[in-house]
Amino acid sequence: MSRWSRRWAEALDLYIHTQSTGWGAYLLEQSLMALLRDLPGLLGIGLRGMVYRLFLPTRGFPYIARGVRLAQPRRITLGRGVYLDEGVYLHACPNGITIGDGTVIMHGSVLHVYNFRGLPHSGITIGRRCFIGEYNVIRGQGGVTIGDFVYTGPLVQILAVNHVFQDPHRPIAEQGITARGIVIEDDVWLGGGAVVLDGVRIGRGAVVGAGAVVTEDLPPYAIAVGVPARVVGSRLDRSRPVDGPVFHGGLPVVQTAVLAQEEFR
């Protein structure tokens, strides 16, 4: 084999192993996804929910809209009643992606473990009944753990990785990365466009304002805004007035109904 041919074969093998767990698995997964990925409507959701379980670990019936892209699907675990909206992209290099019961991932969102360096704590875990808003980006090189009942607005970024740039005489790309991980506890709300940087822990019940950049830990029930985010209050303070009428129902009711139905399957 010539040097050119050997390099081509090595590059092809690398590509296969970034997309799947082996050649046989890749051919099966890609064949089935090519047939069903873009099938519209309820028929498409139904067929994907049945057929994708041949290679996608699930606890119950997965609700997968058209155009969802899955890489390393055997390392993706979906709980009962999980819904992946159109255009979602999940790339589950080791140690994988786990999405809890009743969680919704809205369209255009990217969950990418991107562990090509053998990082020991990589992975993304999302709890029960979360709502990940439109066009969110979650990068899990250092490990991202998200609790239950976490809601994020559109365009939120959760980035468990950082580039080293101390040496101005070397390209940043050659200086390596750090990846300490991110923890977001239960019942957190991240407003639209918020950014959570590596090494941060956001305490239970905290609220992060739209456009805030979280660079340090936030205590439970904190209300934080700004760039960088600073704590301006606490949900544990005296009751705050609510402007306008309050509406209930919607997605939380749907999540409850779907999970109740899944219990009897």
Which residues are known to be catalytic? 163
Amino acid, res. 104: V
Tell me if residue 106 falls in helix, strand or coil: coil
Asked if 102 and 81 count as a contact pair (C-beta separation under 8 A), the reply is: yes
SS3 5: helix
List C-alpha distances in Å: 229 to 97, 224, 226, 256, 260: 28, 6, 4, 33, 38
Burial of 213 (0-12, 13-18, 19+ CB in 10 A): middle
Residue 89: is it exposed, middle or buried by C-beta count within 10 angstroms (0-12/13-18/19+)? middle
Give the integer Cα–Cα distance in Å for 71 and 50: 18
